[in-house]
Amino acid sequence: MSLPDFKTMYRELIARPSISALDASLNQSNRAVIELLAQWCEQLGFSTEITELHAAPGKFNLLARRCPPGMAEHSGGLMLAGHTDTVPFDDSRWNFDPFTLSERDNRLYGLGSIDMKGFFAFVLKALEDLKALKQSAPIMILATADEEITMAGAQEIARHSNLKPERCIIGEPTDMVPVYTHKGHMSSAIRITGRSGHSSDPDRGLNAIEIMQQVITNLLQLKEDLKNKYSLEDFAIPYPTLNLGHIHGGDNANRICGCCELHIDLRPLPGLSIAELQALLLQAVAPINAHYPNSVSVLDLHDPIPAFHGTRDCALVTLAEKISGQQAVAVNYCTEAPFLQQLGCETIVMGPGSIAQAHQPDEYLAMEKIKPSQQILTELIKQQCFV
């Protein structure tokens, strides 16, 4: 039985909702996507293993493997990896049904069209086109869960005791430009606990908003310190960034605010560890906590994601540059690469579609990019796994 054509695969992947969200009312299982991919992989002769995540029940990983006779299927070869979940969407800002593949103005619209369900259609099409050739190295297809919030799927795969690919391509949308390194990601909540009371007598309470003002002053100083002390020229934004993203506190104008919470985003460079950055954050709020004992708490909103530290001169980067005609770059966003790299494989991030479309209303794949992206990916797989 042959696979569906490329657009049909795209359509069927997008038609299966698989949203990951911290809000439980929006959060969904990705099981339907995983089972569909497993079915297609099996049609291409892959053995498949579907695993429910320990850290996120109801979410699933798929590991599909195909190996030439006489070779160990768990080691060597190439892993093609991507996540099957998407971000939530704002229905009022979409001009199309997010779960229906819509073709207009030479674009394919749909939630996950480039971030990143669509990558699997490219992979499966490439493998179908190469079926007449002799496979000379193991091929693995990894489809993970929960990348958009916890990266739990990739973290569980990283602890797999029997998986040692030689190389890994993560198909996040890079317009087929190879990415060899990227920043990490921390999201933290800073919570101020004060004492509420009547606004007519300020000294009887402790205003959490006023304390937060002092915290913000120190955080802005930390922001400048990070900018001045750490730098890598590989990145377009060469320093670690700190963003004050969300704040809420208080309930009425005539009450002393008893609680205020600020959510911040930090992006560490390779070489700046999560532990070091967490220590700098605690150091920034320590004087305020000393003055107002136990008033300031710092909490992780999710497990921090370390930076991905690859090198430009590894064989996989060199091959990807040669085939794509593009020089490898460093990027400011983060992916599952630092976890999959723990398997001991050379790793790059490289896939169809533009990162500018990720997490946007009316997410789309430009159709003029389909053929050249397919050619590059097919050639990458061919040169590593076929004779």
Query: What CATH number is given to the structural domain containing 294?
Result: 3.30.70.360
Last residue of a domain, one of 263, 281, 300: 300
| Dist CA 5 CA 148 (whole Å) | 28
For the stretch 100-123, pLDDT in tens is: 999 999 999 999 999 999 999 999
Whether residues 165 and 232 fall in one domain = no
Domain-embedded: residue 280: yes
DSSP 98-125: TTS-EEETTEEE-TTSSSSTHHHHHHHH
Catalytic residue among 12, 85, 115, 146: 85
Tell me, letter by letter, the H, E, C secondary structure of 56-88.
CCCCEEEEEEECCCCCCCCECCEEEEEECCECC
Contact 94, 110 (CB under 8 A): no
Domain-embedded: residue 173: yes
Domain-embedded: residue 292: yes
| Dist CA 49 CA 260 (whole Å) | 46
Q: What is the pLDDT of residue 306?
A: 95
pTM: 0.92
Whether residues 18 and 165 fall in one domain = yes
Domain that holds residue 233: 186-300
Whether residues 261 and 343 fall in one domain = no
Handedness of CA 349, 72, 40, 372 (dihedral sign): positive
| Dist CA 212 CA 116 (whole Å) | 38
Catalytic residue among 115, 146, 147, 148: 147
Q: What is the pLDDT of residue 74?
A: 64
Domain-embedded: residue 324: yes
Whether residues 337 and 317 fall in one domain = yes
Whether residues 208 and 292 fall in one domain = yes
Whether residues 89 and 52 fall in one domain = yes
| Dist CA 52 CA 60 (whole Å) | 4
In the predicted model, residues of the chain with pLDDT beneath 70 are: 72-74
Residue 147 annotated to the active site = yes
Whether residues 178 and 40 fall in one domain = yes
Whether residues 32 and 168 fall in one domain = yes
Q: What is the pLDDT of residue 115?
A: 97
Whether residues 52 and 146 fall in one domain = yes
Residue 85 annotated to the active site = yes
Whether residues 258 and 274 fall in one domain = yes
The enclosing domain of 158 has a CATH number of: 3.40.630.10
**b/e string for 28-50 if b means 16 or more Cβ within 10 A?**
bbbbbbbebbbebbeebebebee
Q: What is the pLDDT of residue 161?
A: 81
Domain-embedded: residue 251: yes
| Dist CA 239 CA 224 (whole Å) | 10
How many domains is the chain partitioned into structurally?
2
| Dist CA 26 CA 21 (whole Å) | 6
Last residue of a domain, one of 252, 269, 300: 300
Query: Rounded to a whole number, what is the distance in angstroms from the first to the last CA of the chain?
Result: 24
| Dist CA 4 CA 123 (whole Å) | 13
Last residue of a domain, one of 279, 300, 321: 300
DSSP 261-289: EEEEEEEPPTTS-HHHHHHHHHHHHHHHH
Domain-embedded: residue 1: no
Whether residues 310 and 295 fall in one domain = no
Domain-embedded: residue 31: yes
Whether residues 97 and 228 fall in one domain = no
Domain-embedded: residue 225: yes
Q: How many helices (H) and strands (E) does the chain have?
A: 9, 18
